[in-house]
Structure 1
Amino acid sequence: MRPVLLRLAFAVALPAVLVAVWWVASAGSTNVYWPPLRTIFGAFPDVWTGERLRGDVLPSVLRLAAGYSVAAVAGVALGTVIGSHRRVRAVCEPVLEFLRAVPPPVLVPVIMLFAGIGDTMKIVVIASGCVWPILLNTVEGVRAVDPVLAETARSYGIRGAARLRDVVLRSASPQIFAGLRQALSIGIILMVISEMFAASNGLGFTIVQFQRGFAIPDMWTGILLLGLLGFLLSVLFRLVERRVLGWYHGLREAGRRSP
Structure 2
Amino acid sequence: MPHLTRRRALTTAVEFSVPAVLVFAWWLSGELGMTSFYFPALSAIWDRFMETWFSERFFADVMPTLSAILLGYAFSVVLGVAAGVVLARLPRLERLIAPLLEFFRAMPGAAIVPILIVIIGVGMEMKVFLVVFSAIWTVLLNTLDGVKAIEPTVRDTGRSYRLSGPTALLFVTLPAASPQIVAGMRVALSQCIILIIISEMVVSSSGIGNFISQAEGAFDMTALWSGILVMAFIGFFLNKLFHLFEYRVLAWHRGLHGRTHA
Residue of structure 1 in register with 2:73 after alignment = 68
Cα-Cα RMSD:
1.8
What TM-score comes out, normalization by structure 2 length? 0.91
- Following TM superposition, by how much is the alpha carbon of 1:25 offset from its aligned partner in structure 2, in angstroms? 5.1
- Following TM superposition, by how much is the alpha carbon of 1:8 offset from its aligned partner in structure 2, in angstroms? 3.0
Gaps of at least 5 residues in structure 2 are: none
Residue of structure 2 in register with 1:46 after alignment = 51
Instruction: Give the letter aligned to residue 163 of structure 1.
Output: A
Q: Tell me if structure 1 keeps the 8 A contact 2:29–2:35.
A: no
Q: 2:228 aligns with which of 223, 227, 233?
A: 223
- Following TM superposition, by how much is the alpha carbon of 1:203 offset from its aligned partner in structure 2, in angstroms? 0.4
Is it true that 1:23 corresponds to 2:30 in the alignment?
A: no
Residue of structure 1 in register with 2:11 after alignment = 7
- Following TM superposition, by how much is the alpha carbon of 1:136 offset from its aligned partner in structure 2, in angstroms? 1.1
Residue of structure 2 in register with 1:148 after alignment = 153
Q: 1:58 aligns with which of 63, 68, 76?
A: 63
The DSSP-based 3-state class of the residue aligned with 1:74 is helix
Q: 2:196 aligns with which of 173, 177, 191?
A: 191
Q: Tell me if structure 1 keeps the 8 A contact 2:105–2:138.
A: no
Residue of structure 2 in register with 1:171 after alignment = 176
Q: Which moved more, 1:234-243 or 1:41-50?
A: 41-50
Instruction: Give the letter aligned to residue 185 of structure 1.
Output: S
Q: 1:95 aligns with which of 71, 94, 100?
A: 100
The DSSP-based 3-state class of the residue aligned with 1:32 is coil
Q: Distance in 1 between matches of 2:85 and 2:207?
A: 34
- Following TM superposition, by how much is the alpha carbon of 1:58 offset from its aligned partner in structure 2, in angstroms? 1.1
Gaps of at least 5 residues in structure 1 are: none
What TM-score comes out, normalization by structure 1 length? 0.92
Q: Distance in 2 between matches of 1:164 and 1:177?
A: 16
- Following TM superposition, by how much is the alpha carbon of 1:35 offset from its aligned partner in structure 2, in angstroms? 1.7
Instruction: Give the letter aligned to residue 222 of structure 1.
Output: G
Question: Which whole-Å deviations, capped at 9, do the CAs of 1:159-203 have from their partners, x for residues lacking one?
Answer: 411121122111101110000000111110011011123311110
Residue of structure 1 in register with 2:207 after alignment = 202
Instruction: Give the letter aligned to residue 154 of structure 1.
Output: R
Q: Distance in 2 between matches of 1:34 and 1:178?
A: 36
Matches within 5 A, 1:85-164: 85-164=90-169
Q: Tell me if structure 2 keeps the 8 A contact 1:59–1:202.
A: yes
Instruction: Give the letter aligned to residue 217 of structure 1.
Output: T
Q: Tell me if structure 2 keeps the 8 A contact 1:29–1:35.
A: no
Identity of aligned residues (%): 40
Question: Which whole-Å deviations, capped at 9, do the CAs of 1:35-68 have from their partners, x for residues lacking one?
Answer: 2223212322112123111111111101111011
